[in-house]
Amino acid sequence: MSTEVLAASATDVQQASASAPAQSATAEKVNLLGMSRPQMEKFFEDLGEKKFRAGQVMKWIHQFFVTDFAEMTNISGKLREKLEKICEIKAPEVVHKNYSKDGTRKWVFRVGDGEGSLVETVLIPAEDKTGSRKTLCISSQVGCALDCSFCSTGKQGFQRDLTQAEIIGQLWMANYSYMEDVPVIERERSVTNVVMMGMGEPLLNYDAVLNAMRIMLDDFAYGMSKRRVTLSTSGVVPKIDQLAQDIDVALAISLHATNNELRDELVPINKKYPLEQLIAACQRYIGKDGNESARKHVTIEYVMLDGVNDHPEHAQQMIKLLKNLPSKINLIPFNPFPHAPYGRSSRNRIISFQKTLSDAGFVCTIRQTRGDDIDAACGQLVGQVADRTRRAEQWKKKVAAQNEIIRSQG
């Protein structure tokens, strides 16, 4: 395991009001890392420069992982000097990084001064018939306000939205980690897939997440396939409709329960947007379909909680619920965390749940648990780092108090 500080903390002028206060003499510089192409084109035009400079600079940043303007050899010396004075290219600060034996990599970023201002990013490699993939799980917020009862991020509460630079900075850093020692001109992009499944609810940090995903898809930046960028939501219905208007990416839904009574308990946003509304929004999202669209189906995420949502009757309810929604189901073995009020369903239980769904004609997979040797399981990383940074006791007390409230309400 290696631990290293790589860069100073990020600032992002686009979202200065949502960011931590400026901390250094360089803080007033404009961070170009998080700008989408239209934003950067406007920035260059405002400087009195040609807007095609935006595409050139974006390629240096996102395809060659250059942070020093002096290395941007197709930009005139005069413009490089100008940019150096007023801009910077700054990824968030890495406080821990771990590379697992199975190829999984994780980073914990510090995104502010405050207690618990940490977010996590995990990269999971996989080989299959179609070739090799590197999937990056990106965070969108520090903590989360939605308080799902099985999620350690939810137990931390909401602290703040990540800026565009902090969101795209996670992808930048993961790609850079493979290219650090490669000469600039030979560098390549390594990450093939992104899932917005880290900490936070991406649809509640809508503009920053949307612009970051635009950078992912942009040929002048990461040029990722729209089918390989997936946004996961617990069900913020109006924002699902807005997303359908704004961008073509794959959608995953954190279902976790097949009736409103149970889902109200596990995923409290269900009280505001119940299952019928959520499924209808997914159908509208798919309805925007064209042949080339990323929206051929919705991925349904379903965490397997022992004795809670893993009965045969739940599988039957799911078959009915999803019968008119093109979907692929992903069963997720629950990742326990300290004081969690649930256990993981047994392997047999998960397999028989899968069989019921497969027999009914659904594509249903079971998510593999990876990166166990570096604690890279969903939603656990920051908890582990917090342990090492001696915040554990405070955090555990908070979780215990919240669990007590849940028990007394139940």
Binding residue positions for [4Fe-4S] cluster: 144, 148, 151
What is the distance between the alpha carbons of residues 148 and 362, in angstroms, rounded to a whole number?
A: 26
- Quickly list H helices, 63-107: 77-86
54, 89, 137, 146: which one binds ligand SF4 (CB under 6 A) = 146
> Of 402, 337, 406, 393, whose CA–CA distance to 120 is shortest?
337
Burial category of 33 from C-beta neighbours within 10 Å (exposed 0-12, middle 13-18, buried 19 and up):
buried
Token representation of residue 28: 């007033």
Contact partner at residue 147 from ligand SAH, ligand SF4, none, CB < 5 to 8 Å by partner kind:
ligand SF4
Sign of the torsion formed by the C-alpha atoms of 137, 35, 38 and 176? negative
What separation, in Å, do the N-terminal and C-terminal C-alpha atoms of the chain show? 42
Shortest separation between residue 65's beta carbon and ligand SF4, angstroms: 29
Q: Is 383 in the site for ligand SF4 (CB under 6 A)?
A: no
Size of site (CB under 6 A) for ligand SAH: 16
* 378 noted as active-site residue: yes
Shortest separation between residue 173's beta carbon and ligand SF4, angstroms: 21
Q: Is 234 in the site for ligand SF4 (CB under 6 A)?
A: yes
Contact partner at residue 98 from ligand SF4, ligand SAH, none, CB < 5 to 8 Å by partner kind:
none
> Of 220, 214, 42, 370, whose CA–CA distance to 231 is shortest?
214
**SS3 state of residue 181:** coil
In DSSP terms, which residues pair with 160 in a beta bridge?
142
> How many other C-beta atoms lie within 10 A of the C-beta of residue 127?
9
Could you tell me which stretch among 15-23, 118-126, 151-159, 285-293 binds ligand SF4 (CB under 6 A)? 151-159
CA 303 to chain centre: 17
Token representation of residue 128: 């299959």
What is the distance between the alpha carbons of residues 236 and 159, in angstroms, rounded to a whole number?
A: 19
| Of residues 177 and 335, the one with the C-beta less far from ligand SAH | 335
87, 144, 237, 399: which one binds ligand SF4 (CB under 6 A) = 144
Q: Is 402 in the site for ligand SF4 (CB under 6 A)?
A: no
What is the distance between the alpha carbons of residues 239 and 381, in angstroms, rounded to a whole number?
A: 28
* 282 noted as active-site residue: no
Q: Which residue is nearest to ligand SF4 (CB)?
A: 154
Contact partner at residue 159 from ligand SF4, ligand SAH, none, CB < 5 to 8 Å by partner kind:
none
Size of site (CB under 6 A) for ligand SF4: 11
Shortest separation between residue 406's beta carbon and ligand SF4, angstroms: 13
Contact partner at residue 94 from ligand SAH, ligand SF4, none, CB < 5 to 8 Å by partner kind:
none
Residue indicated by tokens 């991925």? 299
Q: Is 149 in the site for ligand SF4 (CB under 6 A)?
A: no
> Of 139, 107, 108, 145, whose CA–CA distance to 123 is shortest?
107
Shortest separation between residue 303's beta carbon and ligand SAH, angstroms: 4
Token representation of residue 145: 């306000």
Q: Is 265 in the site for ligand SAH (CB under 6 A)?
A: no
Residues in the chain: 410
Q: In what order do the strands lie in the sheet with 298-304?
A: 93-99, 105-110, 118-128, 131-137, 193-196, 229-233, 250-254, 298-304, 327-333, 363-366
Q: Residues annotated as binding site? A: 144, 148, 151, 200-201, 232, 254-256, 335
98, 163, 254, 384: which one binds ligand SAH (CB under 6 A) = 254
> Of 29, 9, 169, 166, whose CA–CA distance to 87 is shortest?
29
Site for ligand SF4 in 188-207 (CB under 6 A): 200-201
Could you tell me which stretch among 32-40, 147-155, 159-167, 382-390 binds ligand SAH (CB under 6 A)? 147-155
Report the DSSP pairing between strands 193-196 and 131-137.
parallel
40, 95, 332, 386: which one binds ligand SAH (CB under 6 A) = 332
44, 334, 353, 395: which one binds ligand SAH (CB under 6 A) = 334
Q: Is 301 in the site for ligand SAH (CB under 6 A)?
A: yes
**SS3 state of residue 107:** strand
Could you tell me which stretch among 9-17, 59-67, 149-157, 281-289 binds ligand SF4 (CB under 6 A)? 149-157
Could you tell me which stretch among 52-60, 68-76, 113-121, 150-158 binds ligand SAH (CB under 6 A)? 150-158
Q: Residues annotated as binding site for S-adenosyl-L-methionine? A: 200-201, 232, 254-256, 335
Catalytic pick among 120, 166, 265, 301: 120
What is the distance between the alpha carbons of residues 327 and 332, in angstroms, rounded to a whole number?
A: 16
Active-site amino acid positions = 120, 378
Q: List interacting residues with ligand SAH (CB under 6 A).
A: 150-152, 197, 201, 232-234, 254, 301, 303, 332, 334-335, 378-379
